[in-house]
Amino acid sequence: MKVNIIKKKFNPKANLKDYEKEYKDFDINLFKAEIKCFPDGKTNAAYLATDIHLKGPNKNKIALYWEGENGQELKYSFLELSEASSKTGNLLKNIGVEKGDRVFIFLPRIPELFISFLGILKIGAIAGTLFAAFGPQALEDRLKNSGAKVLITHPDFYSRVKKILPQLKNLEKIILIDEKNRVNFLEEKNLEKSPKIDNCQFYYSLMEKASSKLKVSHMNLTDPAFMLYTSGTTGKPKGVVHHHQAILHEKISAKYVLDIKDNDVYWCTADPGWVTGIAYEILGTWALGASTLVYQGRFNPEKWYSLIEEYKVNVWYTAPTAIRMLAASGLDLVKKFDLTSLRHLASVGEPLNPESVLWGIKAFNLPFHDNYWQTETGGIVIANYPNLDIKAGSMGKPMLGIKAAIVDKKGKKLKPNKEGALVLKPGWSSMMKKIWRRPEKYQSYFKNNWYITGDRAYKDKDNYFWFVGRADDVIKTAGERVGPFEVESALVSHPKIIEAGVIGKPDKMRGEIIKAFVTLKKGVKPTKTLVEDIKNYVKKHLAGHAYPREIEFRDKLPKTRSGKIVRRLLKAQELGLPIGDTSTLEDY
């Protein structure tokens, strides 16, 4: 295979001057003092992302540029962000939230999402984020497992929550964001009265009564700060818990991988329902004092370019599917905008194909820098860097402080160019702390003194890592991680379906799409209308992004003798690959 190497000219202004040297010399202990931000040696990640700036020159600098889906614009300085999040912390305390309680956020990408997240961390509670696309089933699984005590959501989303309230025994309070009062509140005008909705309370009414003076909780470095549900091959989604010290690795990687500088305007297109939106839209990047752009609206090439132009974005962090979609919308569109503010481009979430790296050069005169990590790793672990040549298609080299290797089943390191399991040496600061209420699941990530990523890869003789694929059935569609089990469960709850098997099918644009194989109840006709009905059913019950784009009806699905559907076989059949050992299967 011919590899395209993008040679870099030495850039003396980049934060990382010499990768090899800095990697060798890196000592995390030299950074530890930074996060022990209180005299008693304790910490708080939200304090480090906001309040810490109040003592320095960033106090009145814009932390958040926000643009709503209808074009509304707002700015919050670090001071304003700090005060708003402290007030939210007090608001939560006033309604009974205590250290360690889970407070979940189910919101569109509006300022209150970011403010609430910080407020929750400031009082030592654990923040959980939820994608706006989630339906009742996805919400129930997460809110029930986490035992969330408070949910912060939006009146437009409430109907989805209401359906599952009887199942949520631990949920004591629901706060709705009364968006129409945002500006009234900011301008200290009287609030408009909100209509009564069940027992919900309204955010800005509560904010009016809350003080902005907050004693931020002093946390141990390894106290839990936030949690995210993510998917594996089997079972329901699992709650990955991260600690306050995660911010250390996130800050260092934001500096050296994303090359964030003090005066940068930075745009991360991710949603905080996903770990990227927490690590590099809230914690790591605000800890560095970057001005961050948040756009509430959906993907739209023209709008995206206009945002880069208008806000003079310097560093842009996005994802492969978006890059491929931008490329498909053509170079002529790019040329209509002045995008010369851009200095550094990065991408995460799924394999970045070489053409996309090179398209960056054609369109913006800059390559996209691929980097690799997971919800569980809490921050970037393998990356391409400003002053390091890029081998297009490679994920790059291990991040400072990270030891990565390719090993065989016994944990033995493999020679260059040999495919094996991608593993990491445990111990970096943003490594997950636990899987909520599933200690045995957490333990299953560690073998032979390695953290097992579940990905297959190889490294070449120059120590560049190349992604091969997942070792399990986890699906990555447009960068979103989807567990086949969740989709199968949603499918079989459809009144006309008996069984379902779900796989990721390679797709040029989205990396993979979800394909479902289903058997129908006796007498049900497999029609086109039924296909649409099933798609809508999954969208509505589970999540807008986790529905099968392709559905195939089958009389029978391949199963093991113990009755488990064999996705591996469905995938092999779909892709025309050898089907392997079938001796454990029931007659098929």
Among 111, 351, 378, 548, binds ligand WTA (CB under 6 A): 351
How much helix, strand and coil, in percent to the nearest 5, is found in the chain?
A: 30, 25, 45
Under rule CB under 6 A, residue 481 binds ligand WTA? yes
- Smallest gap from Cβ 549 to ligand WTA, in A, equals 19
- Smallest gap from Cβ 374 to ligand WTA, in A, equals 4
Under rule CB under 6 A, residue 350 binds ligand WTA? yes
Question: Are 140 and 148 within 8 A, CB to CB?
Answer: no
Q: Name the residue nearer to ligand WTA (CB basis): 348 or 400.
A: 348
Among 134, 158, 316, 372, binds ligand WTA (CB under 6 A): 372
Among 255, 476, 510, 567, binds ligand WTA (CB under 6 A): 476
Under rule CB under 6 A, residue 65 binds ligand WTA? no
What's 71's DSSP letter? Answer: S
Binding region for ligand WTA (CB under 6 A) out of 73-81, 344-352, 436-444, 574-582: 344-352
- Smallest gap from Cβ 572 to ligand WTA, in A, equals 20
Q: Name the residue nearer to ligand WTA (CB basis): 43 or 230.
A: 230
- Smallest gap from Cβ 455 to ligand WTA, in A, equals 5
Strand ranges, E, within 131-270 = 150-153, 173-176, 201-202, 224-230, 238-243, 265-268
Binding region for ligand WTA (CB under 6 A) out of 107-115, 337-345, 348-356, 558-566: 348-356
**What are the tokens at 331?**
């170079």
Binding region for ligand WTA (CB under 6 A) out of 96-104, 366-374, 530-538, 571-579: 366-374
Q: Name the residue nearer to ligand WTA (CB basis): 227 or 348.
A: 348
Please list the alpha-helical segments (H only) found in 39-135: 45-49, 78-94, 111-122
Binding region for ligand WTA (CB under 6 A) out of 170-178, 204-212, 346-354, 548-556: 346-354
Q: Name the residue nearer to ligand WTA (CB basis): 97 or 348.
A: 348
- Smallest gap from Cβ 434 to ligand WTA, in A, equals 16
Under rule CB under 6 A, residue 473 binds ligand WTA? no
- Smallest gap from Cβ 383 to ligand WTA, in A, equals 9
CA distance 137 to 160: 9
Q: Name the residue nearer to ligand WTA (CB basis): 176 or 405.
A: 405
Which residue's C-beta sits nearest to ligand WTA?
A: 375
The 3-class secondary structure across 479-505, one letter per residue, is CEEECHHHHHHHHHCCCCEEEEEEEEE
- Smallest gap from Cβ 265 to ligand WTA, in A, equals 22
In the block, tokens 């400031």 appear at 122
Per-residue contact track with ligand WTA, 214 to 233, x per CB under 6 A? ----------------x---
Please list the alpha-helical segments (H only) found in 173-280: 182-186, 203-209, 246-256, 275-278
Binding region for ligand WTA (CB under 6 A) out of 76-84, 132-140, 353-361, 372-380: 372-380
- Smallest gap from Cβ 146 to ligand WTA, in A, equals 17
- The backbone region for 29, taken as left when phi is positive above 0, alpha when psi lies in -120 to 50, beta otherwise, is alpha
SS3 107: coil
Under rule CB under 6 A, residue 314 binds ligand WTA? no
Question: Are 41 and 23 within 8 A, CB to CB?
Answer: no
Q: Which residues of 310-329 are buried (b: 16+ CB within 10 A; e: fewer)?
A: ebebbbbbbbbbbbbbbbee
Among 89, 284, 349, 558, binds ligand WTA (CB under 6 A): 349
Per-residue contact track with ligand WTA, 436 to 455, x per CB under 6 A? -----------------xxx
AA identity, residue 362 = K
Binding region for ligand WTA (CB under 6 A) out of 61-69, 294-302, 310-318, 364-372: 364-372
- Smallest gap from Cβ 508 to ligand WTA, in A, equals 16
Among 185, 203, 373, 436, binds ligand WTA (CB under 6 A): 373
CA distances in angstroms from 255 to 32, 65, 182, 226, 376, listed in the order given = 16, 20, 33, 22, 20
Among 85, 137, 375, 384, binds ligand WTA (CB under 6 A): 375
Q: Name the residue nearer to ligand WTA (CB basis): 339 or 404.
A: 404
Among 126, 161, 395, 423, binds ligand WTA (CB under 6 A): 395
Among 88, 245, 374, 489, binds ligand WTA (CB under 6 A): 374
- Interface size with ligand WTA, residues (CB under 6 A): 22
Under rule CB under 6 A, residue 370 binds ligand WTA? yes
What's 122's DSSP letter? Answer: H
Under rule CB under 6 A, residue 153 binds ligand WTA? no
Binding region for ligand WTA (CB under 6 A) out of 29-37, 43-51, 345-353, 520-528: 345-353
CA distance 490 to 165: 19
CA distance 388 to 394: 12
**What are the tokens at 262?**
């003090």
Helix/strand number for the chain, H first, E second: 20, 29
CA distance 459 to 482: 27
Question: Are 393 and 466 within 8 A, CB to CB?
Answer: yes
Q: Which residues of 23-40 are buried (b: 16+ CB within 10 A; e: fewer)?
A: beeeeeeebeeebebeee
Among 45, 121, 326, 348, binds ligand WTA (CB under 6 A): 348
CA distance 269 to 588: 45
Per-residue contact track with ligand WTA, 249 to 278, x per CB under 6 A? --------------------------xx--
What are the DSSP calls for 252-284, one per residue?
HHHHHTS---TT-EEEE---TTSHHHHIIIIIH
Q: Name the residue nearer to ligand WTA (CB basis): 85 or 453.
A: 453
**What are the tokens at 303?**
């709008």
In the block, tokens 């250290």 appear at 99
Binding site for ligand WTA (CB under 6 A): 230, 275-276, 348-352, 370-375, 395, 453-455, 467, 470, 476, 481
